[in-house]
Amino acid sequence: MPKSTGYGIVFDPDAKGPFEFDTITCNHCQQIVRIKPGSAATVYYVRDAASGMLVEDAGAFCRVCMAPICLNCHDSGGCTPWEKKMEEMEARGRFLKSVGLS
C-alpha cells in the first residue's frame, strides 16, 4: 500500500448514515483522492461530469518520485513533489529577506 493512504468519513444530513471511503494524497498537489478499497490505490473513484455519479478510473502513479498522484497532475506531466515546491518557496523567502525585500 502507498504511504499516503487515509480514510475519509462524510456526514451528510440527507443520507442515511455516514459515507466512508479510502483515500490517497497526491504527492504533487496534496489533493485527496478516493480510491477503491483493496485496489492498492490503482483504481480511483472520480465524479462523472455528465451524470454526477462516482465512476471507477485507472489510478495514476509518478515513476519519478515513486508516489501516487491525482489524475490532474498525471495529465499535466512532469514531476514536482509538494515538498520540493515548499522548499523552493522557503528558499525564495530567505533570499528576499536577505536582500531586504521582505
Q: Which tens digit of pLDDT belongs to each residue from 31-87?
A: 999 998 888 778 999 988 999 888 999 999 999 999 999 999 999 989 989 899 999
DSSP string, 22-38: EEEE-TTT--EEEE-TT
pLDDT score of 4: 53
Query: Which pTM value belongs to this model?
Result: 0.74
CB atoms within 10 A of CB 27: 25
DSSP string, 58-96: E-EEETTTTEEE-HHHHHH-S---HHHHHHHHHHHHHHH
Grid coordinates in use for 90? 522557503
Q: Which tens digit of pLDDT belongs to each residue from 25-39?
A: 999 999 999 998 888
Roughly how many angstroms between the first and final C-alpha of the chain, as a whole number? 43
